[in-house]
Structure 1
Amino acid sequence: MTRLNLALSLMIFLSVSWLSYGCKTTPSEKSARPKLAVVVVVDQMRADHLTRFEGVYEHGFARLLNQGATFTTAYHDHAYTVTGAGHASISAGVHPSRHGIVGNHWYDRAESKEVYCAEDTTCPLLGYPEEEADNGRSPVRMLASSLGDWLKEQSPESKVFGIGRKDRAAIFSAGLKADGAYWYNDGDGNMITSKYYMTSYPAWVKKFNESRVVDTYFQEGWHKLKTEQTYFLAREDSFSAENDGKNTAFPYEFTTKSPKAAEQYYGDLQSTPFSDALLMEFAKALVENENLGRDDAPDILFIGCSAADAIGHTFGPLSQESLDHFLRLDAYLGQFFTFLDGKIGNDNYITVLSSDHGVMPLPEELARRGFDAKRVSKGELVVRVGKVLLDLSQELGVSERLISGITGFGVIVNYSAVADKGIRPQELDARLISRLKDLHPIEDVFSREDLTEGKTDGRPYRELYAHSFHPDRCGDLMFRIKEYYLLRSSPYGTTHGSPYPYDTHIPFVVSGPGIAKGQHTQKVRTVDIAPTLANILGIDRPVDLDGQSLFEEIKAK
């Protein structure tokens, strides 16, 4: 970790929570705490991916459902449902409005530019020329402490690691004080990190990368795992809005004809279940070589499986490709749990399953099922918005642009354009909102005043947008697009990012020693995961979290 980032992280770390501790853990809970907590966050896993396929799961998911406490009504409690925001909310127990990771990218007003959530130019990628290090990575933009930080503060001998196919999944799960975070490099197939965490790779990581486990999937291709009857749980294999509109059915082969076949393979691997297989092999190596769960100081391992996200974006959540992936992930998780059973004992670790967000089904699929659903060209909407802004500019007699930028789910208003006209910011907001709300499929537009004044007028989704809003990292006006309307440039695939249940309703299962098996139907939130795990691990947590512990609800009596 560089001196600059060490100092900055320490300042953030000390300022956010420690003086506010007050939720104490009893000595009896501490004596019975597990030696390892494994938090599996499956990117883009909807709640119905767990329940809809329950009858065909045989391994990892089946074990969790059969042995764990399952919350059937678990939701993300913020509007902008993307990977960075989801992982940070799970690990920190507070909303994006407080932990600051409001999206994967945002316009940073202090820096006057768009930034990537995990970007840090002072912490280059380890093992790569600095000019090729893609600007570096760290959690320095996270404004709140998280579960791993609380553990490291109270039990310095404990170890905290985050791993993922995506850097932001590994980084924001692990927190500010983690012992390490590793993620997949799609350029060469290696698992990598940055100088924020270490100055050289451990020997075991070098050995893992040199073993080229990643290359073992090259000749396999992606074929259906089960018999055809199993796939009746999904729609027909070939659907016109999938992938590129042509390659929409099994099997899928990795290219071997391109001069850059290897480089293309490492990129293509991300969109197959095998990227999760690779990650689980790396998880085994990490547990083995970092000696996780071997002593009385509890450790935490966050695992961010992201194959579902790439597959879901391409084929949609109701596709046979999505089903096949979850069948394979079920097997990968089962193998990993069996490994942990043998390595540290099944009574010595706790497992949590959740997701960073869901996803909208393909609008074409919804439409044929009778929903008012539609794919809307992002470019066409931008043109229509531009026309409205031009008309308003002419009406106000100004030549400058009224909107100076777009960030996440909102826009940045250029208030200086009308300052000499005597128009106050609130008045310009009102005029813009009245015009923009008339543009289909924009359903609502929130001003920053709407989201910062604690209004409770029952306006739909206001609270979720407030939970996503940070004044320095969000726009001045935030849009809500109509439910089941997909704003996307491509005529294929789908995405997420809305406040609607298809994006916010996710799985939440806790399984392990001291946890009673059963289903719980009350509504809970992903910000409840960190305080619940803190309780299970016997560590104190800040008193001002947005989430609350559910341990009393699920503990074995």
Structure 2
Amino acid sequence: MRFLLSIFFLSFLFNCTAQNKVIQSNTQNEVALNAKPKLVVGIVVDQMRYDYLTRFYNKYGNGGFKRLINEGFNCKNNHYNYVPTFTGPGHASIFTGTSPKNHGIIANYWYDKFSKETVYCAEDSSVSAVGSDTDSDRMSPHRMKTTTFADENRLFTQMRGKTIGISIKDRGAILPAGHSANAAYWFRGADEGNFITSSYYMNSLPSWVNEFNATNTAESYLREWNTLYDIDTYTESGSDLNVFEGGFKGQENATFPYDLAVLKDSNKGFDIIKATPFGNSIVADFAIKAIEAEELGKDNITDVLTVSFSSTDYVGHNFGVNSKEIEDTYIRLDKDLERLFQALDAQVGVGEYTLFLTADHGAVEVPAYLQSAKIPAGYFNKDEFKKQLNAFLKKEFQASDLIESISNDQIFLNRTSLKQWDLDLKDVQYAIVNEVINYKHIDKVYSSRTMQNATFSGGIEALLQNGYHQKRSGDIILVKDPAVISYSKTGSTHGSGSTFDTHVPLLFYGNGIKKGSTLTKTEIIDIAPTISALLGISYPNGATGNVLGFLID
């Protein structure tokens, strides 16, 4: 009997212990499932090529880019999966997890086939500027057709999780924050020098924004811009004086130093700050203030902060990829990032936030510089192209006014004229494709019919198809030769499907992120699904990217 009782008692203890382990295991799993970051920070650096991480690596400190690289996860082979690689589509794609084919932001500006006018990706005539009397800052995300992960977080948290978007550019603040954001703020230059918003978000600026604007921070950045370190140590760049850079009005040469206070009146007032590293500094200042004033990341309901550093783009367009100005801009941005990260550590807490950093596109080396180095490159004359094409169409079809618009390397045909001349759309498209492929600097030509009926799995054709929106895109799509641009002969630009435009950084850091790196190819549309999976929320409603599960801890 004692033996049976002993067996029963031991069995009871075993079952209790096992049951307790199950309860503990379930509790641990529940804690892990609900251990979300208090704040997600999405950082976009405008016009940042991937090699800016490696080229300037030895000039960076340990608290900015290197902190993300060494303590976070580095996706070294990250690319855009579409063209055109512009700011508007880039910001929309990062945060929606899909391409222009679905979210509809096909460019910064595009020709609208229905209104017969060029439209801007963030313009909205139904709203008004708030914080400025200007009529030109009537902005909202209404042209973006899908949600962002910030939208999905707002829905998931019953609108208790905040979303704030910040940038120098309106589109850099508005598109990432999504449709349901609490606010998006951008910098109004000219004679104002303030951060503003629109009535889409609110009817008046919060007191903290008014206080920030009243500090005249913008005025403080109208100072001398010289290299942070001895210019002779900037060996990662070309010579300071060359023929490949634009510079500022009022200064004869594009060489350091630049006295911004003196140059201000000749360069659209406070707008000059945008085209210097100090534009990034004032964005960092404003973002740090927003974290504190909006109490972002102060509770267990996840908030989202999007920050786009746009001055890198202005500097790149003006001075070019190989300039000492672009090197100094990134050295200074690295220090602004360190300030932002320190503020996140202090206000939100180390390990309490998740952050990613990427870019909206890269940039081409100045073609004139490439030509001087005997590398194939060139410039495309749009006026000559249009003149030549019109002459062909008149001769081929004995008709005029068949072209309605040419924009973003797309040709829009005039449907009314086609009907008047009794021409078939397919025949005209076919004729143009076979004609234009023979023109100088044209590498490939495709019709909308091809984009709609064929399925491409790779190459430039797949990129074109992912950037093609049936309702908004044109009838003919042009692809220029690599490193051939429609631009001035000074400064850099972007927009192509070449790797100098598609290959951009992607760094993840913080709560829920492993340390490491990969050379596996990732795509820009993978970011939003990955953040959504980390948060346990629905993916953006048009998302087509993949979850990068290998970097989630």
Judge same fold: TM > 0.5, yes or no. yes
2:257 counterpart of 1:251? yes
2:185 counterpart of 1:182? yes
Aligned counterparts, 1:222-261, within 5 A: 222-244=225-247, 246-256=252-262, 260=265
Aligned counterparts, 1:52-451, within 5 A: 52-58=55-61, 59-129=63-133, 132-134=134-136, 136-155=138-157, 156-187=159-190, 188-218=192-222, 220-244=223-247, 246-256=252-262, 260=265, 264-376=268-380, 378=381, 381-398=382-399, 400-419=400-419, 422-451=422-451
In structure 2, stretches of 5+ residues that fail to align are 1-28
Distance 1:342 1:457, change over 3 A: closer
Shift of 1:28: 5.1
Q: What is the match of residue 500 of structure 1? A: 498
Match of 1:205, SS state, is helix
Shift of 1:454: 3.4
| Matches of 1:495 and 1:201, distance apart in 2 | 34
Match of 2:224, SS state, is coil
CA contact (8 A) 2:164 2:306 kept: yes
TM-score (norm 2): 0.90
| Matches of 2:531 and 2:457, distance apart in 1 | 34
Shift of 1:222: 0.6
Q: Which amino acid aligns with 2:454?
A: G
Residues 92-143 of structure 1 show CA distances to partners (whole Å, capped at 9, x for unaligned) of: 00111110111001112232211111000111101334xx321610001110
Q: What is the match of residue 18 of structure 1? A: none
CA contact (8 A) 1:255 1:265 kept: no
CA contact (8 A) 1:445 1:480 kept: yes
Q: What is the match of residue 5 of structure 2? A: none
Mean CA deviation greater in 138-147 or 530-539: 530-539
Q: What is the match of residue 543 of structure 2? A: 545
Residues 500-536 of structure 1 show CA distances to partners (whole Å, capped at 9, x for unaligned) of: 1111100000011232211110110110011111122
Distance 1:57 1:387, change over 3 A: same
| Matches of 1:85 and 1:33, distance apart in 2 | 29
| Matches of 2:174 and 2:534, distance apart in 1 | 23
Shift of 1:542: 5.0
Match of 1:193, SS state, is strand
| Matches of 1:282 and 1:418, distance apart in 2 | 52
Distance 1:133 1:457, change over 3 A: closer
Shift of 1:386: 1.5
Q: What is the match of residue 554 of structure 1? A: 551
CA contact (8 A) 1:30 1:539 kept: no
Q: Highest Rg: 1 or 2?
A: 2
Match of 1:181, SS state, is strand
CA contact (8 A) 1:125 1:192 kept: yes
| Matches of 2:261 and 2:288, distance apart in 1 | 29
Mean CA deviation greater in 439-448 or 292-301: 439-448
Mean CA deviation greater in 432-441 or 534-543: 534-543
| Matches of 1:168 and 1:149, distance apart in 2 | 16
Residues 177-201 of structure 1 show CA distances to partners (whole Å, capped at 9, x for unaligned) of: 0010000001211000000001111
Shift of 1:491: 2.7
Q: Which amino acid aligns with 1:477?
A: I
Q: What is the match of residue 471 of structure 2? A: 472
CA contact (8 A) 2:102 2:542 kept: no
Match of 2:379, SS state, is strand
| Matches of 1:439 and 1:255, distance apart in 2 | 47
Q: Which amino acid aligns with 2:286?
A: F
CA contact (8 A) 1:29 1:536 kept: no
Shift of 1:47: 0.4
Distance 1:362 1:542, change over 3 A: closer
Aligned counterparts, 1:11-90, within 5 A: 29-58=32-61, 59-90=63-94
Match of 1:62, SS state, is helix
Once superposed, what is the RMSD of the aligned Cα atoms? 1.9
| Matches of 2:511 and 2:543, distance apart in 1 | 25
Match of 1:388, SS state, is helix
Shift of 1:145: 0.8
Q: What is the match of residue 521 of structure 2? A: 523
In structure 1, stretches of 5+ residues that fail to align are 1-25
How high is the sequence identity, in percent, across the aligned residues? 33
| Matches of 1:157 and 1:392, distance apart in 2 | 58
| Matches of 2:340 and 2:530, distance apart in 1 | 23
Distance 1:55 1:244, change over 3 A: closer
Shift of 1:480: 0.6
Residues 217-245 of structure 1 show CA distances to partners (whole Å, capped at 9, x for unaligned) of: 12x31101012343001111122010159
| Matches of 1:27 and 1:481, distance apart in 2 | 54
| Matches of 2:247 and 2:211, distance apart in 1 | 37
